[in-house]
Structure 1
Amino acid sequence: MIVLTAGSASELFTAACQAVLLNGRVVCPRDLTTTEVVGAHLCLTNPRRRLVDVPPVRVINPAFAVAEALWILSGSDAPWIFDYNDRLRIYADDGVLRGAYGPRLRRWDDQIDQLDAVRQQLLKDRDSRRGVIQLYDPSRDHRGYRDVPCTLGYRFFIRDGRLIMHTSMRSQDLWLGFPYDIFTTTLIHELMAGWLGVELGEYHHHVDSLHLYADNVEAAAASLQGAEGTAELDPVAVPWPDLDALIECVISGNSGPGDGSTWDAFGRTLASYRAWKSSERDQARKIAADTSDPLGHALVTWYDHLTSRTSGGR
């Protein structure tokens, strides 16, 4: 069991890499070699520092981080997410990710919006212990689909005027999955705090199997020498009744709402990456450079990483 606390997702990531490398044991589920720690509790004290950024070894695609978070928050399992991460296709059955979190979050059994149910529960009873969102569904997840949710669920507590969030995961790929999962979960955390009118408290990430695949062990070790980014995203909020319309605007528009908010940065990040994928590289870089939010800097770094990789660099 490892217990780690840090003020930024980058610091938490590198601390977790070190802990798994030092304490992990080799196991081979599905004949894939991993170094694993069973039982991990990772605490992020500032959830707005949600970007994992440890250059030069570990930089992430912020466009996919934003796209996945909005895909989940919108309740979608639509295939447009593949435009931001084509590797997800290998987990799809008949073109659909059967373990997609969005439908489970926003329309469980085609009728329950769990996000709204928790919001209403905590507005009614500020001390409630029933602020629970369930994602793992035995009726679906024992059918042999390729995509089975790693996340079991979320819990929310208001204590001392602050919203505390706990996430429980049966499994976590530390190198590939953690940087994107913590972006989504802390965004949900911050939005929920806004809907409840309370301060943003600590974020807790509980993992049963925290692991590194063999292909990523060397890079994980190298990341311990990287420069940990601690950039803090600007506050993000939206009135509950406006959530779905705003997400649709950000996803489908050429940019965000144009008001300089974090939502605008989300939209510009997606628009920039769409330009990059269309080989409009100069336009993509211009949009990224004009995005003042830390996401803009992260996107420039990602493009530099892609360019270096294409030209034969690491």
Structure 2
Amino acid sequence: MLTPLSLPGLEEAYLALLRLVSEDHDHHISARGNDAREVIGASFRLSDPRQRLPFLAARKVNPVFHFAEALWYLAGRRDLEMIGYYAPSMRSSSRDGIHVGGSAYGHTIFSPADGDTVTPFDRILELLRSEPDSKRGYLPVFTADELAISDNPDMACLAGLHFLVRDERLHMVCYMRANDLDCGLLSDVFSFTMFQEFAAVQLGLELGSYTHFIGSAHICDRNADRVHRVLLEAVTRSAPVQFPFPAMPAGTTAATVARVLEHEEVLRTNKAHYSVAHIEASGLDPYWQQALLLFEVYRQIQHDHVDTVNPEVLNALDPGLRWLVGHRWSACAAVLDGGEE
């Protein structure tokens, strides 16, 4: 019986897949001009989906984008106005310069379809409340209609998400038609495990395992040098850097997401700057205050063009997030508390 490789968190899965495709790939492909090494049919299972961030200095993960994208998805949005601020490269995948296409997974999952008043996500919750052992809690995202669009610049990589309640825990299985292991995998797993945890909170369940299946698991040749540096760091460091990721508050709802995004827009559009005291007075749970701190850090970098981010704001971040921004931006590095913690 074949089962996915079981690992505690995303960093271990990320490194295992990088090694697999780097050292034992099935094919070398050139899809749409992107030369890449590929393994067909890869998978892993995370026993703790909350450990959704890798702490690797050579990779320089962007937690600001990860939180922004997850919130953008959870709000059911598809506008470039927000997500293009955090990831300008996404603008090149838009057909009209205003909206994102197939990769706007949240619009498919968290917004009602035309002529409907209930979102697909809420229908899944209704099903699982009434029939906990159901096998039908599947949310399709990729559609065959996307293949009918000539020169489609943005086809969904996510085929669908499968929610399963077993033993009072919410498990989720993700099916990807393709994953760029060095880029898309990290942001995808961060967001999808946030979907899973958000659903578990709505259902009053404990968080179960997260399983990820990939049709085409690939590494683009243009990223081979960075992948080499990441793998080298993993085998030469004295010990992995580890920070626990907190649990999503039990009171989190769609209204919570909307409130966080109201503050996000103020910071993104530079209509205000937030002090730590301002964020603490927001009424949001400390969990979501961390997102506002990240958005304020990014506001200072993007709008104020600071050489050094406000130390008070940086030091209010959870240690893991502070470590990541300190390794991502030089304006944060000088204030990184205690060096490489």
CA deviation map 1:241-282 (0-9, x unaligned): 634433433533556545552111012111211221111343
Point out 4+ residue stretches in structure 1 off by more than 4 angstroms.
253-256, 305-308
Counterpart of 1:98 in structure 2: which amino acid? Answer: G
- Unaligned ranges ≥5, structure 1: 309-314
Code of the aligned partner of 1:208: G
The residue number in structure 2 matching 1:184 is 191
Match runs of 1:1-314 below 5 Å: 3-24=4-25, 25-55=27-57, 57-79=58-80, 80-95=82-97, 96-99=99-102, 100-110=104-114, 111=116, 112-144=118-150, 145-227=152-234, 228-237=240-249, 238-240=251-253, 242-254=255-267, 257=282, 259=284, 261-278=286-303, 279-283=305-309, 286-292=312-318, 294-304=320-330
Alignment match, 2:337: none
Change (3 A) 1:225 1:31: same
3-state DSSP of counterpart to 2:232 = coil
Letter in 2 for 1:231: F
CA–CA separation in structure 2 for the residues paired with 1:88 and 1:305: 24
Unpaired runs of at least 5, structure 2: 235-239, 268-273, 335-341
| 1:183-202 deviation digits (Å, cap 9, x = unpaired) | 10111111111111111111
1-side partners of 2:10 and 2:310: how far apart? Answer: 26
The CA distance in 2 between the partners of 1:260 and 1:171, in whole Å, is 36
| Offset, 1:31 | 2.6
Offset from partner CA, 1:224-249 (integer Å, 9 cap, x none): 23254432211113343634433433
By relative contact order (CA 8 Å, sep 6+), the higher-ranking structure is 1
Query: How many angstroms does 1:30 deviate by?
Result: 1.4
Q: CA deviation digits over 1:94-127, x for unaligned, max 9? A: 1121121121112253334122111111111111
Q: Per the alignment, do residues 306 and 188 of structure 1 end up closer, same or farther by CA in structure 2, a change over 3 Å counting?
A: same
Structure 1 residues 284 and 93, CA gap change in structure 2 (3 angstroms): farther
Judging changes above 3 Å, is the alpha-carbon distance between structure 1 residues 229 and 249 closer, same or farther for their aligned structure 2 residues? Answer: farther
Query: Larger Rg: 1 or 2?
Result: 2
CA offset at residue 222 of structure 1? Answer: 2.4
Q: % of aligned pairs identical?
A: 25
Provide the rounded CA distance (Å) in 2 between the counterparts of 1:161 and 1:19.
Answer: 34
Name the Cα RMSD after superposition: 2.4
